[in-house]
Amino acid sequence: MNRLTCATLCALAFLCSGCDSMPSKDSAGPVVESVSMTGEPGDPRNRAKVHAELAALYYTRGNMAIALEELRIAAAADKNYPLTYSLFGLVYMELREPKLAQANFERGLRLSPTDPDINHNYGWFLCQSGREGEAIKYFMQAVSNPLYPTPWRSYSAAGICSLRKNNLKEAEDFFQRALRQEPDDPSSLFQLGQIRYRQGGLEEARKLVSRYNRIVEPTAESLWLALRVERKLGERGAESSYANQLRRRFAASREYQQLQRGEYD
């Protein structure tokens, strides 16, 4: 085993010990591909792949400087490896360099136009940049790929973009599609729960937010939604329980301040 390969494997073992895939920051947020060590160590494509995957690991841990370093090595090894440019885009998003982020996403898509993860990540970038209509086109391109393993992520992200352009009906449809494919998608559960609450569908809102609070760590927002649902349903005991949780866990939150002021809607 040569020195480069040994160092790379050691770094991967340290960064990703015991895990088969890398976590993303949000269930509807950017997709970071899983690690799989294949190919010959001396092959340029494999060297690019190894360093891009190292960059992805550093990205998920918030170390953008080292992620950029690894991506530059990946690009030098093989300038036509699409994942490198998708990851460059994500890193530059974090560094608030939108022009560089866009240029790299677009380069990745020129190299691999149907790649679902690159389409999803570019869509997320556009959504975060206030270009929601354009973003949805790329999310739909991602889900059109039959080999895409997590299409519900793109449906959920499309729902969030639709909410940002105040299209409630379209958002509702996207969240429902996501949940048909993955009933435990946290983002879709919470967002659809909020929609149902606003529509007056309190029983369904209760089911959705309760499921959310069971499968992930409750947030100030999810406890606040659950509290308001129970208040409208007249369940004072449940309302009080959520109020106590909000006070204990998130006393500094905007939601707890609203509770103290009695601003429920």
Which domains, and CATH codes, for the chain? 183-265 (1.25.40.10)
- State the residue for tokens 């998920």: 60
Q: CA Rg, the chain, in Å?
A: 21
What's the confidence (pLDDT) of residue 169? 95
Q: Do 52 and 71 form a contact (C-beta atoms < 8 A)?
A: yes
pLDDT at 21: 33
Predicted local confidence at residue 33, as pLDDT: 61
Are the C-beta atoms of residues 182 and 154 closer than 8 Å to each other?
no
Q: Where are the alpha helices (DSSP H) in the chain?
A: 3-15, 44-60, 64-77, 82-94, 98-111, 116-128, 132-143, 151-164, 168-181, 186-199, 202-215, 220-233, 236-249, 254-261
Q: What is the pLDDT of residue 15?
A: 37
For residue 54, what are its two tokens? 């190292």
Query: Which residues, 6 or more positions from 225, have their beta carbon under 8 angstroms from its beta carbon?
Result: 190, 193, 194, 197, 205, 209
Q: What is the pLDDT of residue 219?
A: 97
**Cα dihedral across residues 39, 53, 183, 245: positive or negative:** positive
Under DSSP, is residue 245 helix (H, G, I), strand (E, B) or coil? helix
Amino acid in position 153: R
How many Å apart are CA 241 and CA 15, to the nearest integer? 39
Q: What pLDDT score does 40 carry?
A: 46
Contact 142, 174 (CB under 8 A): no
- The pLDDT of residue 50 is 95
Helix axes 116-128, 151-164, angle to 10 degrees: 20
Could you read off the pLDDT tens digit of each residue along the chain, which spans 265 residues? 333 333 333 333 333 333 333 333 457 777 776 445 454 457 999 999 999 999 999 999 999 999 999 999 999 999 999 999 999 999 999 999 999 999 999 999 999 999 999 999 999 999 999 999 999 999 999 999 999 999 999 999 999 999 999 999 999 999 999 999 999 999 999 999 999 999 999 999 999 999 999 999 999 999 999 999 999 999 999 999 999 999 999 999 999 999 999 999 8
Asked whether the beta carbons of 206 and 233 are under 8 A apart, the reply is yes
pTM here is 0.82
11 within 8 A of 53, measured Cβ to Cβ: no
Whose tokens are 């309760």? That residue is 210
**In contact, 51 and 70? CB cutoff 8 Å:** yes
CA angle at 51 for the pair 25 and 1, rounded to the nearest 5°: 130
Position 41 scores a pLDDT of 58
Structural tokens at position 110: 């020129």
